[in-house]
Amino acid sequence: MNSSGDERAVGGAAEGAVEGAVEGAVTLGLLAAWALHDLEELATLPGWWRRNLPALRERYPAVPEAVWRRAGSVDGREFAVAV
């Protein structure tokens, strides 16, 4: 507590700068994690989808054939735009 009795003023501008730096680092870290996750999806999902589509069709027979045809026709560019 400072001489005026205001607890918030202890630490002053230096403490606020540290908090701002931490918030900025957290924000950038989350952005980097999100971008890395999207890159991983772009690199792996199209091949995974082609390999596993027949097994998925067999496992989920109630899904209409039109859905499977549309899902199988999505190319890498369409998927990249969606991601």
Task: Return the residue matching tokens 């999100």.
Answer: 34
pLDDT for the residue 10: 55
At 36-63, the pLDDT tens digits run: 999 999 988 888 888 999 999 999 999 9
Q: What is the signed CA dihedral for 18, 19, 20, 24, rounded to 10 degrees?
A: 100
For the question of whether the overall pTM of this predicted structure is more than 0.95, the answer is no
Q: Do residues 65 and 31 lie in contact, with contact meaning Cβ atoms separated by under 8 Å?
A: no
Q: Do residues 2 and 8 lie in contact, with contact meaning Cβ atoms separated by under 8 Å?
A: no
Residue 68's Cβ-count burial label (10 Å; 0-12, 13-18, 19+) is: middle
